[in-house]
Structure 1
Amino acid sequence: MSIPVLPLLGRGLTAGGAAGLTAGLFSLLLAEPLMDRAIRLEEARSHEHADSGAAAVQHHEELFSRSTQHFGLVVTSLVFGLALGVLFAIGYALVHRRDPEAAPWPRALLFSGAAFLAVSLLPALRYPANPPGVGDGATVAERQGLWLAAVVIGVLGMVLVWQVYVRLAGRSAPVRQLAAAGTAVAVLAVLFALPGNPDEVPVAATLLWDFRVLSIASHALLWAVFGVVFGALGLRALGRTAAPAPSGAVPAG
């Protein structure tokens, strides 16, 4: 059976756009005030560390105003959601290539949940999000490399857990579940074997905690909206293909 790639891509783009816009607005309303507080704290620390003999402190103007950055946050979230939708549709088609149109609702929710674990939650457990201005500019490449490695381990780990569960289909349910759980624990061990964050986080504990909670909440909202919209569109497409026979048809005999 051929995979209907174009309809899946359309569903992915629609779901990704809705999810990205929702997550962007969520971050704008709840996370951005915390980011503004973190920026003010970072500016205050910069003033405190300035040379005591300096006559004046030079202020560097921002390339973009905060209002422009807020708008850019929503646009970036939307674009990210669209790109995510394309990747999700391709992955969904590959995983369910034998019958991609079957059970669209539970499959969409399950696939979205697995993607949230692999791409968002597992990397965040090892490298939680930090407010802007935290970290040395010289370690940006190192921190990005570590985060990317965590994402790769998360994705490959979820694929491995799924493969273990599928290949043990002939075994009893407890055996399959224990094997999948053991594989997940091994993935976590590999994830936490990565080096720690090279920079200190000189931010108040309450602010840091709130920012990290809102960060992971925005990811959870992104994947939840994505799964719901993708699954609902799948149900709609399934209903169209199973249209009833014309009412004017006369039964034979």
Structure 2
Amino acid sequence: MPLNSPTAVPLIGSLKTLLLRGLLAGLIAGLLAASVGYFIGEPKVDAAIAIEEAGTAAHSHDAESAAPEGHSHGDEEEPLVSRTGQKAGQFLALGLAGLALGAIFASVAHFARRHSTLSGPKLALGIGLGGWAAIVAVPFFKYPANPPAVGDPATINERTLLWVAAVLLGLVAVGASGYVYKLLRDQLSTVRLIGGLATFVLVTAVGYIVLPGINEVKADFPAALLWQFRASSLAETATLWACLALGFAALTEFATRSSTPVRESIATAG
């Protein structure tokens, strides 16, 4: 259905309007994601920190026992930001991240509406699903999030670069699947969907094989806590993207319905 069809539901508004819509949806999404992180994720972080501190304390005790008499290792350094500050700060951090992501989301929607026949809400939901798949799902299932007690500080730069590579892989996979879906425009909808999904899985699988694996989880770290932390991390990012896409779609539909009487009155007068 062409975008100028009277029954289509386009992304109403200029780029400025879309940006404002994206900023509002992104802010709400960021705060909701922070709430999920606060109530679900933070208890798992506290548990992981407790395990790390217990191991550090045991190591320090052994070192003190082996040290010459009268020698002191000094007090442990206090963190720059307390745990209470970190927990409260994630609302600010994710709120700002939501604003930035909302602006990017709106810019992508502004570009995509010129090349898509989807209605405004459906286009917003499609962008949200594609963004989540590329930036969250593909990197997560290759390099899942780990709690504070897991990971060698000496490899943090390498792990960061590999995560960026996984994000790029996700973007390529989503882009390739979208291209194949569009290439099969003359085929049945199910054939187009299967072709797009097959392309996504194929590109992702090849990328997973090429990218090296990372396993720095200690053998004695509780497996249940590890996967609970990873599940809470996935829930937090899924909340961010789902609320952003749904919020943007809802605001688009509201703007469309609000402008419908105006368009009808103009058509009647004409």
TM-score by length of 2: 0.84
User: How far did 1:8 drift?
Assistant: 0.7
User: How far did 1:174 drift?
Assistant: 4.6
Q: Report the Cα distance in structure 1 between the residues aligned to 2:238 and 2:129, rounded to whole angstroms.
A: 9
1:144 matched residue in structure 2: 160
- 1:107 maps to a residue whose letter is L
What does 1:46-195 align with in structure 2 at a 5 Å threshold? 46-50=56-60, 51=63, 52-54=65-67, 58-98=75-115, 103-193=119-209, 194-195=211-212
Alignment: residue pair count:
248
Q: Please state whether the residue corresponding to 1:243 is helix, strand or coil.
A: helix
Q: CA RMSD in A?
A: 2.4
Q: Report the Cα distance in structure 2 between the residues aligned to 1:161 and 1:99, rounded to whole angstroms.
A: 15
1:200 has 2:196 as partner: no
Q: Report the Cα distance in structure 1 between the residues aligned to 2:115 and 2:197, rounded to whole angstroms.
A: 26
Question: Tell me, which stretches of 5 or more residues in structure 1 are unaligned?
Answer: none
Contact 1:143–1:198 (8 Å) recurs in 2? no
Q: Report the Cα distance in structure 1 between the residues aligned to 2:56 and 2:269, rounded to whole angstroms.
A: 84
Q: Report the Cα distance in structure 1 between the residues aligned to 2:194 and 2:27, rounded to whole angstroms.
A: 37
What does 1:217-236 align with in structure 2 at a 5 Å threshold? 217-236=235-254
Q: Please state whether the residue corresponding to 2:261 is helix, strand or coil.
A: coil
Contact 2:36–2:235 (8 Å) recurs in 1? no
- 1:53 maps to a residue whose letter is A
- 1:93 maps to a residue whose letter is H
User: How far did 1:40 drift?
Assistant: 0.9
What does 1:1-40 align with in structure 2 at a 5 Å threshold? 4-40=14-50
Contact 2:177–2:196 (8 Å) recurs in 1? yes
Q: Report the Cα distance in structure 2 between the residues aligned to 1:169 and 1:213, rounded to whole angstroms.
A: 37
Per-residue CA shift, 1:73-121, capped at 9, x if unaligned?
A: 1110101111100111111111112579x62222222221121111111
Deviating more after overlay: 19-28 vs 107-116: 107-116
User: How far did 1:133 drift?
Assistant: 3.4
TM-score by length of 1: 0.89
Q: Percent identity?
A: 35
User: How far did 1:204 drift?
Assistant: 0.7
Contact 1:20–1:78 (8 Å) recurs in 2? yes
CA spacing shift, 1:154–1:201, aligned 2, 3 Å: farther
